[in-house]
């Protein structure tokens, strides 16, 4: 018996097991409150809804592992969705190319500001978000005029189901999630992302050009943000300025709940995936409760804080 | 010493998960005694100190202070009970002023300033701790502890980072403390100091006290034997043999200068040569090493590698010329939360060409090679911060063993390391030299120069004061040159 326990322990850390425990209990509680939740198609929808948050959290994980954060991710996502919806009239491929270039541009500015010019990542990306809100607010009435509905193919890719509970967005998530896990655990860049977050001075003395790693992190984060933006846009059918606003804090919370240190250097995307699933089920649970939006927000915030706090206590001990 | 003990420890134990840091520690300290606590790296000294000062709590065991059982809940609590420590690493917060640091420990400013001036130092209280050099910080730490007039002062390797003159000052302060009937626990790897000042010594090995004896009788050999147990390696007996050195220069430094700290420094390092650098604290050696490593820029002068003039803009430039740097402070070289493996392999992935998929087979081969040749203890391999100081130091050197180098810049690699590990590091340096690699070695222990170097330069006030051949690298010559006395 104890042997089996030890084997299980070596596979999953205590922290990871407790995340599964939290997810499972939330799942059961939600099912008890709303019986419909236990159906296959409902699970499919929940997984599908978790995809945008999961992709945003992937970008956030990479930034936070380097000791940074990206709060401009809301307008990166929204901006990418706007660009695709407006430019899709001149061909989907071109529209996606424009959106990709937009993400790379914003990621590059963020990365250079943080890596080369030593800007505080919190201030830099918050400022970037404010600037982008301004640009798009003016843009959609002038140089970015056009349709605000998403092209059909994107709608299908972001909400189309294949066989319940498997959907197109879920497959996309598995693909990109796998890539991120591979990047962080099996590549040289992944090693450097952790190294820079743990001790940038040590990384520099070992010959690492720290700014290049930070630049890469912000660009990858922006690209994932853009992809998440297309998913959100596709799921709601049309684009609006506040498209991704409500997901910014959850994207940070999912990473923290998943055990990534906000100071960088330690954590994993697997943890963030669990965090994203937990937060998605939690939103579902709160949506079934008959109470005002303000009360729901309070409960949500309270639970997120409790989770983050207990988790940090747990990882401290192990 | 039949009177009641000031402090008595019985059966103290502490584990971190599956790693036993302290197994069963027993000893007592009398009033007015200076008691040495000795042991190899990882023997449990630092853990014991942390328990005694309320930083952590023990799993088992009894601590009695003046015959009364105590358990300290915090360092503040321990201080109020008359126990004041000076830890191995500076315990001052870098980004705030000395004055504010004093507030944190509730230290009386005037008493602190009195202790500082008694040391013959002067400190500007408004200065940030990060702007002050390490040795002075250690003295500030000591003055802060003394300002509380503790019954028991605990000094954890305070002399390791100190130049000789300051270390002597610490010794005389301990004597004065004892003269007032108060006690000291003194942890040091410098055995000469132990014999000079301590009344008794307790040796810890694998978390258990193995020997306690009067330090005056305790010969160096007895201490070393108790510390090492079966492993009878004596660092002091490491045989230094002059090896054959190639005639061609690997690196030539010409009129190098850096701000006010370095002036017109010139010297050469041959292939396969171990060149020692001796200096008192703050003579420009820190900057010299940083410039050679590409971590700082010189304000003048030229560097040549294999006869070719080079300019380093970043440490990676130096690395590509085969120059590797082991900094004096292990904390600036290691990623504390990452594994031994990732720390050792880090520099392999520095270039963008290596950003892709890791070749795990090759990595493992290199890492295992380094672990074996340096005999790194891998029990706590998942996070480097859990390793003992000596093992951490091995990891900082091991990183370059995995990549290969032509010149190793080693800044005080044996600081705060036990005799056994010191011997291993000397051997390693000799091995590098036998393989035709050069080493530039700064050490704060002058005796080490003759143990491991082929010749030495002495820095004084940012200049090369002396260039000594092996025969003249005795402590007297080095010390007089280091004090600016012109040797002939």
Strands B274-278 and B438-442: parallel
Q: Can you tell me the mean pLDDT for B176-204?
A: 87
**Residue in B closest to A210 by C-alpha:** B350
pLDDT tens digits, residue range B17-55? Answer: 667 788 999 989 999 999 999 877 678 888 899 999 988
CB B262 within 8 A of CB B284: yes
Q: How far apart are CA A43 and CA A200, in angstroms?
A: 42
Q: How far apart are CA B301 and CA A195, in angstroms?
A: 33
Residue of B327, B338, B354, B402 to mutate for A, most A C-beta atoms under 10 A: B338
Q: What is the nearest CA distance from A62 to chain B, expressed in angstroms?
A: 15
Is residue B85 scored above 70 in pLDDT?
yes
Which of these, B466, B443, B456, B462, lies nearest to B164 by C-alpha position?
B443
Residue with tokens 């998403």: A150
Distances (CA, A) of B159 to B88, B138, B193, B462, B487: 9, 9, 9, 23, 27
Helix (H, G, I), strand (E, B) or coil at B256: strand
Q: How far apart are CA A222 and CA A111, in angstroms?
A: 10
The DSSP bridge partners found for residue B63 are B9, B70
Q: How far apart are CA B16 and CA B9, in angstroms?
A: 20
CB A139 within 8 A of CB A75: no
Q: Can you tell me the mean pLDDT for B256-262?
A: 88
Strands B300-305 and A161-163: unpaired
Chain B environment of A203 (Cβ under 8 Å): 335, 346
Q: Can you tell me the mean pLDDT for B100-107?
A: 88
* pLDDT given for residue A129 in this prediction: 96
Chain B environment of A205 (Cβ under 8 Å): 293, 295, 315, 325, 327, 332-333
Chain B environment of A195 (Cβ under 8 Å): 335, 338, 342, 346
Does the CB of B19 have a partner CB in chain A at under 8 Å? no
Alpha helices by DSSP H, listed for B198-309, are 220-228, 285-292
Q: What is the nearest CA distance from B342 to chain A, expressed in angstroms?
A: 7
pLDDT tens digits, residue range B344-364? Answer: 999 999 988 999 999 999 999
* pLDDT given for residue A7 in this prediction: 53
Q: Can you tell me the mean pLDDT for B473-479?
A: 79
Helix or strand holding residue A246 (H, E): none
Alpha helices by DSSP H, listed for B44-200, are 45-52, 75-80, 98-104, 109-118, 134-146, 164-179, 191-197
**Residue in A closest to B314 by C-alpha:** A207
Do the Cβ atoms of A198 and B336 come within 8 Å? yes
Which of these, B109, B85, B89, B86, lies nearest to B97 by C-alpha position?
B109
Angle at B279 between CA B242 and CA B306, to 5 degrees: 55
* pLDDT given for residue B415 in this prediction: 80
pLDDT tens digits, residue range B133-157? Answer: 888 999 999 999 999 999 999 998 8
Is residue B239 scored above 50 in pLDDT?
no
Which of these, B453, B434, B437, B435, lies nearest to B445 by C-alpha position?
B453
Q: What is the nearest CA distance from A199 to chain B, expressed in angstroms?
A: 5
Confidence category of residue B306, pLDDT binned at 50, 70, 90: very high
A60-69, B194-203, B286-295: the lowest-pLDDT one:
B194-203
- B146-150, long-range: CB < 8 A, 24+ apart: B146/B84, B146/B115, B146/B173, B146/B177, B147/B107, B147/B108, B147/B111, B147/B112, B147/B114, B147/B115, B148/B79, B148/B84, B148/B105, B148/B107, B149/B111, B149/B182, B150/B79, B150/B82, B150/B83, B150/B84, B150/B182
Burial class (CB within 10 angstroms; exposed 0-12, middle 13-18, buried 19+) of A220:
buried
* pLDDT given for residue A5 in this prediction: 57
Is residue B74 scored above 80 in pLDDT?
yes
Q: Can you tell me the mean pLDDT for B415-435?
A: 85
CB B29 within 8 A of CB B7: yes
Do the Cβ atoms of A187 and B327 come within 8 Å? no
* pLDDT given for residue A193 in this prediction: 97
Interface of B with A in 298-337 (CB under 8 A): 314-316, 318-320, 325, 327, 331-337
Q: What is the nearest CA distance from B185 to chain A, expressed in angstroms?
A: 30
Residue with tokens 């937990």: A278
A94-98, A293-297, B276-280, B428-432: the lowest-pLDDT one:
A293-297
Q: How far apart are CA A60 and CA A46, in angstroms?
A: 21
Chain A environment of B318 (Cβ under 8 Å): 207
* pLDDT given for residue B131 in this prediction: 87
* pLDDT given for residue B230 in this prediction: 55
Chain A environment of B360 (Cβ under 8 Å): 186
CB A227 within 8 A of CB A74: no
Helix (H, G, I), strand (E, B) or coil at B52: helix
Percentage of chain B lying above the pLDDT 90 cut: 41
Which of these, B166, B75, B110, lies nearest to B102 by C-alpha position?
B110
Do the Cβ atoms of B346 and A191 come within 8 Å? yes
The DSSP bridge partners found for residue B440 are B275, B409
CB B153 within 8 A of CB B146: yes
Note if the pTM is more than 0.80.
Answer: no
Alpha helices by DSSP H, listed for B322-442, are 340-345, 360-374, 389-403, 419-434
Residues of chain A scoring pLDDT < 70:
1-12, 311-312, 314-318
CB B462 within 8 A of CB B266: no
* pLDDT given for residue B486 in this prediction: 63
Q: Which two tokens stand for residue B146?
A: 């003394």
Quote the radius of gyration of chain B (alpha carbons, Å): 23
Is residue B237 scored above 60 in pLDDT?
no
Is residue B232 scored above 50 in pLDDT?
no
**Residue in A closest to B400 by C-alpha:** A206
pLDDT tens digits, residue range B6-18? Answer: 999 999 999 876 6
As a whole number of Å, the end-to-end CA separation of chain B is 51
Confidence category of residue B88, pLDDT binned at 50, 70, 90: confident
Q: What is the nearest CA distance from A191 to chain B, expressed in angstroms?
A: 7
């Amino acid at each position: 018996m104890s042997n089996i326990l030890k084997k299980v322990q070596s596979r999953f850390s205590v922290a990871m097991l407790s995340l599964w425990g939290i997810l499972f209990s939330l799942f059961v509680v939600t099912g008890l409150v709303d019986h419909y939740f236990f159906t296959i198609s409902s699970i499919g929808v929940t997984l599908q809804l978790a995809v945008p948050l999961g992709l945003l959290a992937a970008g956030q994980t990479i930034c936070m592992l380097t000791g940074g954060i990206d709060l401009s991710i809301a307008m990166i996502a929204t901006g990418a969705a706007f660009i695709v919806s407006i430019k899709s009239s001149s061909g989907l491929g071109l529209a996606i190319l424009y959106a990709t270039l937009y993400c790379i541009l914003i990621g590059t500015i963020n990365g250079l500001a943080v890596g080369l010019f030593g800007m505080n990542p919190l201030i830099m990306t918050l400022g970037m978000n404010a600037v982008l809100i301004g640009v798009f607010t003016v843009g959609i009435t002038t140089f970015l005029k056009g349709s605000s509905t998403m092209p059909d193919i994107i709608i299908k890719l972001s909400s189309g189901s294949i066989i319940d509970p498997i959907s197109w967005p879920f497959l996309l998530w598995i693909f990109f999630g796998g890539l991120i896990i591979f990047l962080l655990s099996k590549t040289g860049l992944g090693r450097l992302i952790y190294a820079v977050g743990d001790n940038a001075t040590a990384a520099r003395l070992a010959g690492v050009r720290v700014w290049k790693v930070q630049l890469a992190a912000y660009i990858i984060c922006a690209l994932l943000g853009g992809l998440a933006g297309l998913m959100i846009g596709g799921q709601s059918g049309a684009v609006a300025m506040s498209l991704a606003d409500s997901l910014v804090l959850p994207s940070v919370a999912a990473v923290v709940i998943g055990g990534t240190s906000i100071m960088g250097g330690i954590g994993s995307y697997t943890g963030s995936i669990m965090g994203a699933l937990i937060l998605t089920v939690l939103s579902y649970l709160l949506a079934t409760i008959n109470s005002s939006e303000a009360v729901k927000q309070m409960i949500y915030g309270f639970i997120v804080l409790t989770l983050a706090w207990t988790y940090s206590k747990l990882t401290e001990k192990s | 010493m039949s009177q009641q003990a000031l402090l008595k420890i019985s059966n103290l134990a502490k584990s971190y998960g599956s790693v036993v840091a302290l197994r069963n520690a027993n000893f007592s300290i009398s009033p007015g005694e200076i008691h040495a606590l000795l042991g190899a790296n990882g023997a449990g000294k630092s853990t014991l100190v942390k328990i005694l000062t309320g930083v952590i709590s023990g799993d088992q065991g009894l601590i009695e202070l003046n015959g009364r059982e105590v358990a300290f809940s915090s360092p503040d609590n321990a201080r109020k009970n008359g126990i004041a420590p000076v830890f191995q690493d500076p315990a001052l917060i870098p980004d705030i002023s000395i004055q504010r640091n004093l507030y944190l420990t509730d230290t009386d400013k005037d008493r602190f300033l009195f202790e500082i001036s008694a040391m013959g130092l002067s400190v500007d209280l408004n200065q940030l701790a990060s702007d002050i050099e390490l040795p002075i910080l250690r003295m500030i730490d000591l003055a802060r502890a003394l300002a509380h007039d503790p019954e028991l002062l605990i000094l954890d390797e305070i002399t390791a980072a100190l130049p000789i003159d300051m270390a002597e000052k610490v010794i005389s302060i301990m004597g004065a403390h004892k003269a007032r009937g108060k006690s000291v626990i003194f942890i040091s790897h410098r055995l000469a100091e132990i014999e000079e000042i301590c009344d008794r010594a307790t040796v810890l090995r694998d978390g258990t006290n193995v020997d306690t004896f009067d330090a005056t009788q305790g010969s160096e050999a007895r201490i070393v034997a108790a510390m090492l147990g079966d492993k009878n390696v004596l660092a002091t007996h490491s045989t230094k043999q002059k090896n054959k050195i190639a005639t061609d220069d690997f690196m030539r430094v010409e009129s190098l200068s850096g701000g006010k700290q370095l002036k017109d420094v010139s010297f050469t390092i041959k292939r396969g040569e171990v060149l020692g650098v001796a200096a008192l604290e703050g003579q420009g050696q820190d900057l010299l090493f940083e410039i050679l490593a590409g971590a700082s820029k010189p304000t003048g002068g030229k560097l040549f590698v294999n006869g070719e003039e080079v300019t380093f803009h970043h440490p990676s430039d130096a690395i590509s010329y085969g120059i590797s740097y082991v900094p004096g402070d292990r904390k600036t070289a290691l990623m504390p939360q990452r594994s031994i493996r990732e720390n050792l392999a880090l520099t392999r992935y520095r270039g963008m060409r290596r950003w892709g998929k890791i070749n795990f087979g090759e990595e493992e081969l290199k890492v295992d090679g380094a672990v074996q040749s340096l005999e790194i203890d891998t029990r706590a391999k998942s996070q480097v911060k859990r390793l003992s100081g000596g093992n951490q130091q091995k990891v900082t050197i091991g990183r370059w063993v995995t990549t290969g180098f032509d010149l190793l810049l080693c800044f005080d690699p044996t600081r705060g390391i036990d005799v056994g590990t010191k011997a291993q590091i000397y051997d390693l340096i000799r091995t590098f030299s036998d393989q035709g690699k050069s080493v530039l070695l700064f050490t704060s222990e002058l005796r080490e120069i003759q143990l491991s170097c082929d010749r030495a330069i002495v820095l004084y006030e940012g200049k090369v004061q002396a260039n000594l051949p092996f025969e003249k690298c005795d402590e007297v010559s080095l010390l007089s040159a280091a004090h600016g006395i012109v040797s002939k």
